[in-house]
Structure 1
Amino acid sequence: MRRVGIVMTLASAAMLPGCANGHDEHVTLAEVPAAARETILAHLQGGQLSELERCRDEKGVVYEAAVQRAQGEFEFLVAENGAFLGTEEEEREYEECPAEDGAFLAPTPLRDGASFTARITHPYLPLSRVRYAVLEGRSEKVIREVQDQTRVVGGVECLVLAEKEYANGELAEISYNFFAQDAEGNVFYFGEDVDEYENGIVTGHGGAWLVGRNADEPCLFMPALPRKGLRFKAENSPPEAEEWDEIADLEGELRVPAGFFRDVLVIREGDRPGKWSERKYYASGIGLISENKELNLTVLGREGPGAR
């Protein structure tokens, strides 16, 4: 079943390119660039590709795929670089049901029967392509690395992102974070295992939570089609972990040691609604580039640790 509540709020017609206004042509999967082909295959999810079109306009190339599934036909859009751009149905539903600003989204994809993949291709969180990153500050350092093995959480196969946090050169925490992406391109957070360290010894597990253990549903972590003002709960397992997020900007600019980035997505976070204590900055095609402009991207690796 489609999650109408989330689709109504996430989709933005102005941000969803299609083939209606450009020059389109039928193509085969073999004619599609590797990055876009991988995204299309990841979203088949047991269905059959029934039609594939390539659209060219002033903004570039977009591929529109039609997939026949048991529930009916499903159409979605993919950029030439492999970014999942959303669905045709999302655009129509947004026009019919505009979002209600101020409300925090807390979708229930498991209850609603959503389908998931462990391949994360969201343009602002492309964990399956950008698998290694280092962020550094004055006294902090975080190493983010996607693991080779997936893990089943709450009955869903999830990508595993390991984060090692260092304070003043000493290991402070290792967390394993579990993500899955639904058919519309929304990235959901299924929880995390946490080990806190002191003098090389595990001293606690603060903030750990998992779907199926102390939460019934995953949390929306990155909307498929973000728009300014959109609010959602990125963690919802009180008292272990609870977080409210709001998209503050989509056109930010930020220079970090790894480079200068435009059209930066800015998400502000807080442990209470409207009480923002942190900001995170995401670049398209890269992912997280800064936390509070204090912990900044210094090293980036693509397609696995061997590429860095």
Structure 2
Amino acid sequence: MKLKSSFICTVLIVVALSAVSAVFCFPSRAGAQERKVTVRRSELPAVIKRAIEQAVPGARIVKIEKEIEGEDPGQYDVEIHSGQKEYEVEISPQGEVKEVREITSGAEEDSGVEQIKKWTDSFNLENCTFSTVGRNRFFSLEPGHQLVLQSSEEKVVITVLDQTKMIGAVRTRVIEEREEKDGKLAEVSRNFFAVCKEHGDVFYFGEEVDDYKDGKIVAHGGAWRADEPDSKAGIIMPGTILLGARHYQEISPKAMDRAEIIADDVTMTTPAGTFKNCIRVEETSGLDPNEKYYKTYAPGVGLIQDEDLVLVRYAKVAEQSLSMADVPRRVRATIRKHAGGAKVREIVKETVGGAVRYEAEIIRNGKAFDILVSTKGKYLGIEGEEEAGQDDDKETDEDDDSEK
């Protein structure tokens, strides 16, 4: 019994020593102690400066620290002030924004009261200078940007058009969405957006909707405009991405879509490629809060997933279809002159050999041909029926002289 007791004591001593070792030794092995140095703005690499501006456009930098030792050596932790709030932005040495989080006060953290998340529906639009061209990290208003998403039954083509539209006092960019179901056109919408230069928020000012059945327009479901009674613009994509942020996208009696950012570090693979540092958004409607939809956006690209629709390709398109009202006055005059009263079926703006031109498809005496016009309204010639080409050859020199 005495031998057994001594053995047990020995075991207990070993266990105790192991516990002490675990408490005092293992933390130092788990990770190096974090050490940071303060960095001046003038010392920041250009790639880090760009990342800060993209994360929170127009913000005032309060403090910059660079991690020398720790879990993320080389990482920049930037404390900034924007819109009466303080944020901390974590940026990798390569210039990737890893996280943006709001810095809460000690009183808020210690209150012990769970904050009720509200949906932001007031955006101080009067403080914004709006532009129809530009982008933030997850949404582009650059004409020609195109996304093609597809599922087993549906296909959606989203194109930033070279067209604008006035909604109230704001000129907006037109983005067209064409939706097909089982290979048949189901819906075409023209959506109106503008970006706030000060903060990078992209605002949504409404949409025109044409619902199709058997090739004919049968309804206009979901159409709304911010300049209608009891309606105003919402945010489709904020310039500053904050996890858990909630905001209205549409504010109208007929449309009350809203979005919550539920993830900011998503990696997703689609037929168009693998995308990192994506955000995931949960969309609901104030008209039916129980319905939920999920979308994923990739930096520099935009929407890559909408429920079962996934991105299959994206690109700058080489041409865009326009109406006669959308082309410059001089271009319109040249087209009408050479059309000779014939029907103008379609106008396309395209880039050929690095030069931009307009191509108008004309129907004359049942035959189709194209009139080519420069962006300045100069007549470039005709493609198509030889008869049309012969009729207009004599006019070419006259038009050229008028441009000089």
Which one of the candidate residues 104, 107, 120 is aligned to 2:119?
104
Q: Does 1:62 pair with 2:76?
A: no
CA distance in 1, matches of 2:194, 2:45: 30
Shift of residue 22, structure 1, vs aligned partner: 5.4
Q: Does 1:24 pair with 2:15?
A: no
Residue 206 of structure 1: aligned partner: 221
The answer for unaligned runs of 5 or more in structure 2 is: 1-37, 62-79, 88-102, 109-114, 320-349, 352-404
CA distance in 1, matches of 2:179, 2:121: 29
The DSSP-based 3-state class of the residue aligned with 1:228 is coil
TM-score normalised by the chain length of structure 2: 0.54
1:116-163 residue CA offsets vs partner (Å, 9 max, x unmatched): 111131110123176111100010000111111111112111111000
Give 1 or 2 for the bigger CA radius of gyration.
2
1:245-271 residue CA offsets vs partner (Å, 9 max, x unmatched): 110000011111100111111000112
Alignment RMSD, CA only?
2.7
The DSSP-based 3-state class of the residue aligned with 1:62 is helix
TM-score normalised by the chain length of structure 1: 0.70
CA distance in 2, matches of 1:263, 1:63: 17
Shift of residue 221, structure 1, vs aligned partner: 1.4
Closer, same or farther: CA 169–187 of 1 in aligned 2, 3 Å: same
Equivalent residue pairs, number: 238
On the 8 A contact 2:186/2:212 being kept in 1, the answer is yes
Counterpart code for 2:220: H
On the 8 A contact 1:120/1:159 being kept in 2, the answer is no
The DSSP-based 3-state class of the residue aligned with 1:106 is coil
Residue 288 of structure 1: aligned partner: 303
Q: Does 1:228 pair with 2:252?
A: no
Residue 194 of structure 1: aligned partner: 209
On the 8 A contact 1:84/1:185 being kept in 2, the answer is no
On the 8 A contact 2:281/2:296 being kept in 1, the answer is yes
CA distance in 2, matches of 1:303, 1:249: 30
Closer, same or farther: CA 227–113 of 1 in aligned 2, 3 Å: closer
Residue 268 of structure 1: aligned partner: 282
Identity within the alignment, %: 29
Residue 58 of structure 2: aligned partner: 87
- Range 192-201 or range 112-121, more displaced: 112-121
The DSSP-based 3-state class of the residue aligned with 1:24 is helix
The DSSP-based 3-state class of the residue aligned with 2:244 is coil
CA distance in 2, matches of 1:186, 1:161: 16
- Range 121-130 or range 193-202, more displaced: 121-130
CA distance in 2, matches of 1:108, 1:288: 23
On the 8 A contact 1:270/1:277 being kept in 2, the answer is yes
**How do 1:69-218 and structure 2 match up within 5 A?**
78=53, 83=54, 85-89=56-60, 91-92=80-81, 93-95=84-86, 98=104, 102-110=117-125, 112-128=126-142, 131-182=145-196, 183-218=198-233
CA distance in 1, matches of 2:134, 2:282: 22
On the 8 A contact 1:190/1:210 being kept in 2, the answer is yes
* Higher RCO (CA < 8 A, seq sep 6+): 1
On the 8 A contact 1:101/1:229 being kept in 2, the answer is no
